[in-house]
C-alpha cells in the first residue's frame, strides 16, 4: 500500500485519473472507496465501476444495536462482505444483502454477477478486512458543512426515512465520531485521496 497517496482535486478529475489507472489492468479489478457520509464516494463509485457494492448493505438491523454504535464496523457483517467480494473477483455470482434505509434493517438479498471492474464503497471500505482485496484504494474527503448540506437535501427529499432532525443527530453523534476513530487508519491505506469540495448532489 502506498506510503504517499496521490492527491486529486475534484470528482471529475478523480474519475479521469483513476479510469486511466484501471485501464492498464486486463484482470478483474476491485476499487475500494471510503470516506465520511456525503463526501462524494458514491458518486465516484458509480462513475468508475461496472458493479458497485456499498458497505451500507452489510449494516446491522438498527433496532438491535445501541444507537451510538450503529456505524461501528464490529456490528457490520464484514465477513459476508469479504466473502461476496472474493466470489465476485473469482468470477462467481454473489448473494448480497438488501438493506433498507426506510426500515433500517436487512429486508432481502439479491444476486450480483461478476464484472470487470467492481467497486466497494462506504465508510468502512478501507477496513483491514476489505482493503487487502482491493487493487486500488481511495479516500474521499470534503468539508463537514458541505457534507451536511448534501445530506440535509437528501433528507428533505424524503428518499430516506429519518427526516432532518434525526439525521442531524446521527450525523453529529454517530457518523462523525465513528469515522474519527478510523480515519487515520483508512488514510494510511489509501493509494489516492480525492478532495471533493464542490457543492454537488450526492448520497451518504
Instruction: Give pTM, 2 decimals.
Output: 0.92
pLDDT for residue 2: 47
CATH code where residue 61 lies: 3.40.50.300
How far apart CA 34 and CA 47 sit, in angstroms, is 15
For the chain, the distance separating the N- and C-terminal CA atoms, rounded to the nearest angstrom, is 26
pLDDT for residue 200: 54
Asked if residue 10 is part of any domain, the answer here is: yes
Q: Which domain holds residue 62?
A: 6-195
Asked if residue 200 is part of any domain, the answer here is: no
Asked if residue 117 is part of any domain, the answer here is: yes
Asked if residue 202 is part of any domain, the answer here is: no
Number of structural domains in the chain:
1
Q: What is the mean pLDDT of each run of 10 residues along the chain (204 residues)?
A: 82 92 85 96 92 97 96 97 97 97 94 95 97 97 95 83 89 97 97 85 50
Q: Do residues 2 and 186 make contact, with C-beta atoms less than 8 angstroms apart?
A: no
CA neighbor of 196 nearest in space, from 42, 5, 21: 42
Amino acid at each position: 500500500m502506498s506510503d504517499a497517496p496521490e492527491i486529486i482535486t475534484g470528482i471529475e478529475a478523480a474519475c479521469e485519473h483513476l479510469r486511466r489507472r484501471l485501464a492498464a489492468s486486463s484482470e478483474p479489478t476491485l476499487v475500494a472507496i471510503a470516506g465520511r457520509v456525503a463526501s462524494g464516494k458514491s458518486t465516484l463509485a458509480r462513475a468508475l465501476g461496472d458493479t458497485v457494492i456499498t458497505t451500507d448493505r452489510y449494516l446491522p438491523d438498527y433496532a438491535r444495536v445501541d444507537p451510538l454504535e450503529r456505524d461501528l464496523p464490529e456490528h457490520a457483517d464484514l465477513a459476508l462482505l469479504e466473502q461476496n467480494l472474493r466470489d465476485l473477483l473469482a468470477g462467481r455470482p454473489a448473494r448480497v444483502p438488501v438493506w433498507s434505509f426506510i426500515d433500517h434493517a436487512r429486508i432481502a438479498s439479491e444476486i450480483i454477477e461478476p464484472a470487470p471492474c467492481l467497486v466497494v464503497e462506504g465508510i468502512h471500505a478501507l477496513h483491514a478486512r476489505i482493503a487487502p482485496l482491493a487493487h486500488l484504494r481511495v479516500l474521499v474527503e470534503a468539508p463537514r458543512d458541505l457534507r451536511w448540506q448534501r445530506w440535509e437535501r437528501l433528507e428533505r427529499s424524503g428518499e430516506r426515512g429519518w427526516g432532518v432532525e434525526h439525521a442531524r443527530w446521527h450525523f453529529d453523534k454517530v457518523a462523525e465520531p465513528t469515522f474519527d476513530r478510523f480515519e487515520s487508519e483508512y488514510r494510511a491505506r489509501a493509494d489516492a485521496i480525492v478532495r471533493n469540495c464542490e457543492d454537488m448532489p450526492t448520497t451518504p
